[in-house]
A and B are shown apart, each in its own frame.
Chain A
Amino acid sequence: MTRPNIQIDDEVREMTEEEYADLLASGWTPDEAPATDA
């Protein structure tokens, strides 16, 4: 699976595997179905 991007000031890049592991450990979950008011 593609890892999400991370932004530090103006730099945007794909997360490293270690950063992605930390993100998942924090309770973050990948995209769900987009939620809208419609």
Chain B
Amino acid sequence: MTFPSFSVGEVLRAQDMNAVGLWLIKSQVVGSGVSSVTVNDAFTNDFDNFRIIYSDGTQSANNSLNIRLGASSASYFGGWNGAFYATGSANVGSNNNTSQLLIGGGDSNGSSICCDVMIPNRTKYTNFTFNGVFVDSAIVGAGRHAVAAAYTGFTILTGAGTMSGGTIRVYGYQK
């Protein structure tokens, strides 16, 4: 057999299944009118690197969605670059030793996060890459949590107002 194409009735061999790239670890439905959502037991030791996807939700204000690892509320550094739709002018910003890291955003028409998280479950610094889509602009960026500690969970926080609905899914990248 030639993977990744499977045939009906085929035996799923361990070496083939263990090569599947992404594994859904956790799926968390977001409630209504919450300013933060904590997702526990997400960064399992089965994986080194993870992807967080949030979609199908909304925000009461056009603003960011930010992350904290565990209960750690310091030492977040990041930067982003993008453009405002109307003018094409730059949307540039940064987090410099802040209490949370911007990793996405949205507004009342839709909110999203698409963020890769590198080795949050190891006693080393954690790095992030992300993008954000807002009512007036879009950005891409990267960042770091400069604390050499291991975490199994995270919290998504709104920069302003609240978030409602949608699902936060956490995937592990196969090693």
Residues of A within 8 A of B167 (CB): none
The digit string for A1-38, where 1 denotes a CB below 8 A from any CB of B, is: 00011111110100100000011001111111111110
B100 touches A32 (CB 8 A): no
- C-alpha gap A12/B107 in the complex (Å): 21
**A9 near B39 (CB under 8 angstroms)?**
yes
Is A23 within 8 A of B35, CB to CB? yes
Question: Which DSSP category, helix, strand, loop or mixed, fits chain A's interface?
Answer: loop
Cβ of B61 within 8 Å of any chain A Cβ, yes or no, is: yes
The interface residues of chain B lying within 8 Å CB-to-CB of A9 are 28, 38-40
Which residues on B sit within 8 Å (CB–CB) of A12? 31-32, 34
B160/A35 in contact, CB under 8 A:
no
Q: Are A5 and B62 in contact (CB under 8 A)?
A: no
Q: How far is the CB of B42 from chain A (nearest CB, A)?
A: 10
Interface size class of B (residues with CB under 8 A): 20 to 34
Task: Give CA–CA (A32, B107) in the complex, Å.
Answer: 11
CA distance A12 to B123 in the complex (A): 31
Complex interface: chain A residues within 8 A of B96 (CB): none
B40 near A34 (CB under 8 angstroms)? no
* Residues on the A chain within 8 Å of B113, using CB: none
CB distance from A37 to the nearest CB of B (A): 5
Contact A7 B162 (CB under 8 A): no
A8–B38 CB distance below 8 A = yes
Residues of B within 8 A of A4 (CB): 33-35, 162
Does B75 count as interface, using CB distance less than 8 angstroms? Answer: no
Q: Which residues of B contact A10 (CB under 8 A)?
A: 28-29
Bound CA span A28–B31, Å: 19
A-B contact pairs, 17 of them (CB 8 A): A5-B35, A6-B34, A6-B38, A7-B30, A7-B36, A9-B38, A12-B32, A12-B34, A15-B35, A23-B36, A26-B99, A26-B157, A28-B157, A32-B61, A34-B61, A35-B62, A35-B107
- Which A residues fall within an 8 A CB radius of B? 4-10, 12, 15, 22-23, 26-37
